[in-house]
Structure 1
Amino acid sequence: MSDKRKPATPKETSRYQPRATSSRTTYILAGAAVAVIAALVVGGIVWNSHRDSGGVDEAVLSENAAQIIGAPSAPQTIDVFEDFMCPVCHEFEQQSGASITTAINQGTLRVRYHMLNFLDNQSSSGDYSSRAAGAAQCVGAGEDKEIFLKFHSALFANQPKEGGGTDLSNADLARIAGEQGASPATQKCVADGAKVDEAKDAADQSETQLSKATNGQVATPTVLSGGAPVDGIMDGTGWLDGLLADKG
């Protein structure tokens, strides 16, 4: 594990009080009140002091999304922040993925997907989150929304175990993309890891924007609406029903 995310000692942990976004286990990056150099990783909670605060930049959120799906005329736009290694993100996909897809298809929702990578060090390869995010960039660039959404769901369905002894290779990711209907060109993009560096840059920019929206505390999964965090996203689909109802 890198110095940036080395495990904290019990004494270090006791100085911080995380504010979870749900009643369930949540993956958090948060800005500490005092400057520290090393991030702390304990029990799925990651603390990082070098995060900005202030208003969200809508242009940056658009530019760094792995994929934007839904009609530009949709009355509601949300930003969804996930990490493909995050088990709670898998649960979020199981709970809300179908409802999100239905709302997109009905023209009532536009979604900007942001794939973060702060759980790289929890994967066997040390870079699975980044490689999976790069694969999503390939599929987002080369395929239509249906294939992207199928691939997005398939990666969570095939999610490696956090801290496990193995994860998916680029060849595995390419195979899964092909099973969802991705073209040979897109599969080659995935297999070659052609967009991993792009995905890393996008993850960093998206993480910074999320930090601005949450006063330095970043968690996956998180949903933003109008640049503000949405509450209750792990309590079923009521959060989405409420957003859509608010927009008529």
Structure 2
Amino acid sequence: MTNGKKPRENPDYQPQAAGASSYLYVGIGLAVVIALVVGGFIWMNNKSYPPVDDKVLAENASFIVGDKAAPITIDIFEDFHCEHCSEFEKQSGAAIRQNVIDGKIRARYHMLNFLDGASDSGDYSSRAAGAALCVARNDDREVFWKLHSALFQRWNDDLDNQKIADLAVANGASPVSRDCIAAGKLVDEARTMADASKGQLSNSTEGQVATPTVLLAGKQVENIGSGPGWLDEILAGARPTK
């Protein structure tokens, strides 16, 4: 990574014409690179992924909401430092919540953390996921949904734990949740759960892990980035998955 800046040239380097031996080494080097690339391509195309394990998804969801008897269960994979997830929440969050309330779907939220390194603190995704887990453990679904939405409104702010705790309290979180968030008590557990959920997502998408993603019966739902039409199609029985 160069952060947009032109790399500084090495002042000790002096270009020179390549001799016959240089061409030989370059040719050998290119052959090795080509062999590695081709070998990697073949390996990736031959790699197999096990079926998605629904038990693992259920055990490692940050929050499960909705009637167990609901006819449809969806798994939602997000990262609190993800701009596209913020857009997904704006476009589809209300529809997901209303259909949960209406008993039409059961939603399992998986808060991933692969964007930790993109935050200044280096661990914002994990800390925000830990905060969501605190609320999921100690408060009702309305508080979870409110904090979930509020964190995505501030997806790029990289809040410290105390500010996340204050945001949770402003959205109805209990004193127990506030203290849990401020102390970062569930961050490590959230990381472990994120790793397990990411593994199942990778199995479903053959290694193409990205957020936001929605799975239905272990299969990726298509076209989730253009409004809640994908959910309407699922409810209608069209099931746009791949």
SS of 1:176's equivalent in the other structure is: helix
Aligned-partner SS, 1:115: strand
Indicate the residue corresponding to 1:206 in structure 2.
197
User: Structure 1 CA distance, aligned partners of 2:77 and 2:109?
Assistant: 6
Q: Cα gap change, 1:52/1:131 in structure 2, threshold over 3 Å: closer, same or farther?
A: farther
Between 1 and 2, higher relative CO (CA 8 Å, sep ≥ 6) is seen in: 1
Q: What secondary structure does 1:217 align onto? A: coil
Map 1:45-84 → 2, pairs under 5 A? 53-84=49-80
What is the match of residue 101 of structure 1? 97
Give the CA deviation at 1:241. Answer: 0.3
Structure 1 residue 216, shift from structure 2 partner: 1.2
Distance 1:191 1:206 in 2: 25
TM-score, normalised by the number of residues in structure 2: 0.79
Q: Does 1:112 align with 2:108?
A: yes
| 8 Å contact from structure 1 (residues 52, 208) kept in 2 | no
- C-alpha change, 1:108 and 1:123, in structure 2 (3 Å) is same
Query: 3-state SS of the aligned residue for 1:218?
Result: coil
Count how many residue pairs are aligned between Structure 1 and Structure 2.
Answer: 202
Q: Is the 8 A contact 1:52 1:211 kept in 2?
A: no
2:147 corresponds to 1:151: yes
Report the Cα distance in structure 2 between the residues aligned to 1:218 and 1:239, rounded to whole angstroms.
19
- Identity within the alignment, %: 53
CA drift at 1:245: 1.4
Q: CA deviation at 1:52?
A: 7.4
Q: Which runs of 4+ in 1 moved over 2 A?
A: 32-36
Q: Does 1:135 align with 2:126?
A: no
**Match of residue 12 from structure 2:** none
How far apart, CA to CA, are the structure 1 residues paired with 2:98 and 2:86? 18
Please list the CA deviations of residues 6-36 of structure 1 after superposition, one character each: whole Å capped at 9, or x if unmatched. Answer: xxxxxx9xx99xxxxxxxxxxxxxxx74789
TM-score, length basis structure 1:
0.77
Return the index of the structure with the highest Cα Rg. 2
Map of 2:182 onto structure 1: 191
CA distance, structure 1, for counterparts of residue 208 and residue 112 of structure 2: 14
Give deviations 1:25-54, integer Å, cap 9, x for gaps: xxxxxxx74789xxxxxxxxxxxxxx9722
Partner of 1:218: 209
- 1:190–1:34 distance in 2 versus 1, CA, 3 Å: farther
SS at match of 1:233: coil
